[in-house]
Every structure is written in structure tokens, then in C-alpha cells.
């Protein structure tokens, strides 16, 4: 049924479980800040229901959704239009319901990763030398795609499970060099960008322990983990004189393109945004 009254735009985040997600706090902050009549809600959807739910939401006024664990890969089989970068990464995190009824899927994690480094390490020049990336999971794929896009000359990767790192080389090409996990510290030699994309160092997980003796004090060091904000890895890198950037900014920046498409305003990522998310 059509209506003459404008609908209040709805968006949300679909995951399973979803209670831990900070996205509702973040989008809620932006909606209030810009006085936008809209809502963003957490949606706990089991994998078996994902397709049905996604086809139903637009009929209820949803203009799009974020997609998180465990649906980020499966969504590519459901969406009608998939951006090249989402296809290359093999996962999507942002859906837009188009007026023609088709579901558009994109991956904004890589853009969020780059925007976080540019904002918090303004002198960072990724073209100046190699990047060292620890881990080869879904987040690493987005990080590697983004590093290639901004012109990093060489990307060194090590992962506990070697075949996942090898897959990154075959998918992303000759700029990617794979190292053994036990020799991962060697990747630091001359690296100007250093990123932990593993889940290590997160509250409740073992620490990320890699000897940092080879770390160049000029390097920009980033941890994708944001609970805690200052991981042991970042604290050690800071002690060695490096510029360190925590993972929260990536979470904030990856959300901005979706908010803009759904609610019509590019949101700012600043201290107030961080505080709103941390306070929740």
C-alpha cells in the first residue's frame, strides 16, 4: 500500500548475536545530533532467516542496514548488486535498499580503516614503504584491499593459519608477500605501516605478542581491536616512539557512508562521536 505521508526512515544492524554492537549508539548519536527523524535498531537474525528478513525490511520502511558477524560473507549470495570492492573482499557490511527494490551491498571497512589513519596520523604516507599486516581474516582482506588502493608498494602478511594468508596473495596479487607466523616479527623491518588485524589483544583473548625490536619509530601502528582502546601492542609501539592509532576510529568511519546514504547527511567523526560510543 502506498501512502502520501513521508515515512520515517529506519535502518539497523543485523547480526547474531547483536546485543554487544555499538552501532546503535553511534547512529543514535548522529540522528540526535543532526535532528533527523529516523531510527537505527539492533536486529538479531539467525542465518536461516536472513534472506526472508532482508526482503521484508523495506516494506516496513527500512532504507538500509549494516551487516555484521556471522552474515558478512553470506550476504553476497542474497544481494542483487555488489560493489567491486565487496566482491574482492568477499564480504559486505553496508546494504542500501534501492527504490527499484534491489539490494545494493558494499564494504566500507577498508575506507573506515584509511580514514581512521588519515584523521589520527595526518603525516602518514602509506606510499613511502611497506606495510606489515598481522592476520588474514575478513578484516585483513578489507585492510589489504584499502592499502593497495592508496598505493602501498608492498604488503607483508603473516597469519597463524598460513593458507588464509596465501589466499590473500592469490586474490590481491604480487604486492602481497606472505611470511611464516613464527617469523612475523621480521615483517617489521622498514615497515611504515603496521596493523594488527587479528583478534589477539581483545579483552578475553590472549595478548598479541610479537617482538617489536625491528619496529621503526617512524612507523604508524594501528590495532583493529578497540576493546581495550590501548592494547598492549599499541602501548609497546608507543613506548618505541611510534605514532599509534586505536581501532575505534575505524568503527566510526566505516559507519559514515551508510548513515549518509540512508539519512541524507554525511556525519562527522570527532571527539563527541567517540565519547557517545564509549559512554554507552
Q: Which of 197, 222, 231, 243 binds ligand NAP (CB under 6 A)?
A: 197
Q: Which of 28, 58, 137, 228 binds ligand NAP (CB under 6 A)?
A: 137
> Does the footprint of ligand NAP cover residue 169 (CB under 6 A)?
no
Using the minimum distance from each CB to ligand NAP, give the nearer residue, 51 or 227. Answer: 227
Is-catalytic flag, 72?
A: yes
Using the minimum distance from each CB to ligand NAP, give the nearer residue, 179 or 197. Answer: 197
> Does the footprint of ligand NAP cover residue 247 (CB under 6 A)?
yes
| Least distance from ligand NAP to the Cβ atom of residue 263, Å | 20
Number of residues counted as binding ligand NAP (CB under 6 A): 25
> Does the footprint of ligand NAP cover residue 254 (CB under 6 A)?
yes
Residue whose C-beta lies closest to ligand NAP: 137
Stretch near ligand NAP under the rule CB under 6 A, chosen from 8-16, 157-165, 256-264, 271-279: 157-165
The grid cell for 158 is: 603473516
Task: Cite the active site residues.
Answer: 72
Binding stretches for ligand NAP (CB under 6 A): 109, 112, 135-140, 159-161, 164, 197-200, 202, 206, 224-226, 247, 250-251, 254
Amino acid at each position: 500500500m502506498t501512502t502520501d505521508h513521508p515515512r520515517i526512515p529506519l535502518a539497523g544492524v543485523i547480526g547474531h548475536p547483536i546485543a554487544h554492537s555499538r552501532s546503535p549508539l553511534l547512529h543514535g548519536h548522529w540522528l540526535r545530533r543532526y535532528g533527523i527523524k529516523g531510527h537505527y535498531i539492533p536486529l538479531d537474525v539467525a542465518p536461516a532467516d536472513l534472506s526472508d528478513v532482508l526482503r521484508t525490511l523495506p516494506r516496513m520502511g527500512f532504507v538500509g542496514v549494516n551487516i555484521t558477524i556471522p552474515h558478512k560473507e553470506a550476504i553476497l549470495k542474497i544481494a542483487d548488486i555488489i560493489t567491486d570492492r565487496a566482491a574482492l573482499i568477499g564480504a559486505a557490511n553496508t546494504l542500501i535498499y534501492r527504490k527499484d527494490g534491489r539490494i545494493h551491498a558494499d564494504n566500507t571497512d577498508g575506507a573506515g580503516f584509511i580514514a581512521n589513519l588519515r584523521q589520527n596520523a595526518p603525516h602518514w604516507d602509506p606510499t613511502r614503504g611497506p606495510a606489515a599486516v598481522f592476520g588474514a581474516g575478513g578484516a585483513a582482506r578489507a585492510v589489504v584491499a584499502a592499502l593497495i588502493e592508496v598505493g602501498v608498494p608492498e604488503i607483508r602478511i603473516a597469519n597463524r593459519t598460513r593458507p588464509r594468508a596465501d589466499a590473500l596473495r592469490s586474490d590481491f596479487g604480487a604486492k602481497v608477500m606472505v611470511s611464516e607466523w613464527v617469523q612475523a616479527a621480521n615483517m617489521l623491518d622498514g615497515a611504515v605501516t603496521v596493523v594488527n588485524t587479528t583478534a589477539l589483544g581483545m579483552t578475553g583473548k590472549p595478548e598479541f605478542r610479537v617482538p617489536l625490536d625491528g619496529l621503526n619509530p617512524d612507523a604508524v601502528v594501528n590495532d583493529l581491536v578497540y576493546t581495550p582502546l590501548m592494547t598492549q601492542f599499541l602501548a609497546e609501539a608507543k613506548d618505541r616512539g611510534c605514532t599509534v592509532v586505536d581501532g575505534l576510529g575505524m568503527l566510526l568511519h566505516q559507519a559514515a557512508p551508510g548513515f549518509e546514504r540512508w539519512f541524507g547527511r554525511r556525519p562527522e567523526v570527532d571527539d563527541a562521536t567517540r565519547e557517545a560510543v564509549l559512554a554507552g
